[in-house]
Chains A and B, each alone.
Chain A
Amino acid sequence: MSGAASEEPSGSGRRRAFWLSGRGLVSSIPYLWLLLFFLLPFAIVLKISLAEPIIAQPPFTPLFGPDGSLQATIDNFLFLLEDSLYIVAYLNSLKIAGISTLLCLLIGYPMAYGIARSPRAIRNILLLLVILPFWTSFLLRVYAWMGILRNNGLINNLLMWLGVIDQPIQMMNSDFAIYIGITYSYLPFMILPLYAALERLSPDLVEAAEDLGCRPWKAFLTITLPLSVPGIIAGSLLVFIPAVGEFVIPSLLGGPDSLMIGRVLWDEFFGNRDWPVASAVAIALLLVLVIPIMLFQRMNLRREGA
């Protein structure tokens, strides 16, 4: 299982024998699980996205009709393209996820940098403090913002008490609230990869630049920032990809016109009971995200090889 015989002589002959060996047996257990419960479901979603909704259990037409003919239709996908609701929702999701990622970056980068530059003893404590909110409930943390942003919530009450305003500002049920919600919830996912990348940078580099006459800000822009790009990309992918499909935050903090595709999928499924369309939405969402996901996968592979 461990160690011995790493590089086999070239040829797929040896590699084919892998799955018959002890190692193959060990690998097959998680492999089969993932094939069955992760990969196969996507195939099924695809299949159902090509079906029609019917009043039955399950509520969609089977792939092969009673006479054995293939029953597949792309009506659902056409429907997505026709009804502007969906396109708007997709674009809106990309926009919101993009802006939130940027906000996470703006807040998270200085934090990550600050932690990386702080004395060793405190560093672990600070990291722990960053991760701690992650261990408490995601749902409850979003809920916390409900209490802060609503019309008689914390902020409005404070501002009115201070006399700054005399009418509550509408903050809830808006895109603004969603931005705050996503940035808040995903911030740790941005900070950690950024920290990892920045921590690896030797402080000697910046000191050498300054020694050669570079001002601190310039040193940051020309030395530190470019070298931290892998961390920026990793953190951004970790925030952006799941944020596009977010459901909880838009549904609790968003308004009726802040449409995000996660909510649309949920409503199609639970509200309209239209499984084929929901599947089509999911497939379309996957297609939109396939490039970032493959980027993420490539980053992981490269990191492994390094």
Chain B
Amino acid sequence: MNALTLWFHKIGSPPTFYRIAGWLGPWCFGLGLLLGLVGLYGGLVLAPADYQQGDAFRIIFIHVPCAWMGLFAYFFMAANAFVALVWRIKLSEILAMASAPVGAAFTFITLVTGSLWGKPMWGTWWTWDARLTSELVLLFIYLGIIGLYNAIEDRRQAARAAGFLALVGVVNIPIVHFSVNWWNTLHQGSTVRLMGPSKIDAAMLWPLLLMALATHLWFFGSLLARTRVGLLELDGGKDWVRTIALADGARSHG
């Protein structure tokens, strides 16, 4: 077995990953918070007001990164679910299930901030156009996955069943993304492009991209924290968890 495979297997071992996630998680949170504050300063203070939407457009700096994260979290969850179902890797099961609540949180924020942005701009809190409806359906899919995971007693079987559901729901992701192109929607089309120039002012773009990075880091911080809990739950009877449980008890009493 070569060094890379060995390293890969070591990382997958629960106590090792628990330790790594333990110090990596806070760094993700810290860095995410820092970049987020810088990005929000750029977005709220430095960027000029939009000529059409005035200061209301500043919701973009939280709405769009959260929308991107809702989709990214689903993609991450589905990829891990696929690995978990095909290769039965424990860590992938836990990573998949840990991404669901975070993705649901980002999707929820997207819907609420979108509604708060839509009221002054479009005159309505909600409309049943393709983008909003498919985003709402995405939230339902997340809730269904979380619900199914919590409904089954055996954690590993629960993760496999919920992971399977996540794969079935993958079909919604391209619908959410391309809905603004495929249908006539109230929601505006995409302005930020991965390849080629974006149709947005530079002073508004850099805070947006910084916020995207910050939310990614927050996602990974939350994911690692939840994965730690999942590993403890799964390996509850093992020695390494017992040591941690007793040490935690000594720390809180001593």
Query: Do A and B form a real pair?
Result: no
Q: Which A residues form the contact surface with B (CB < 8 A)?
A: none
Residues of chain B touching chain A, judged by Cβ–Cβ distance below 8 Å, are none
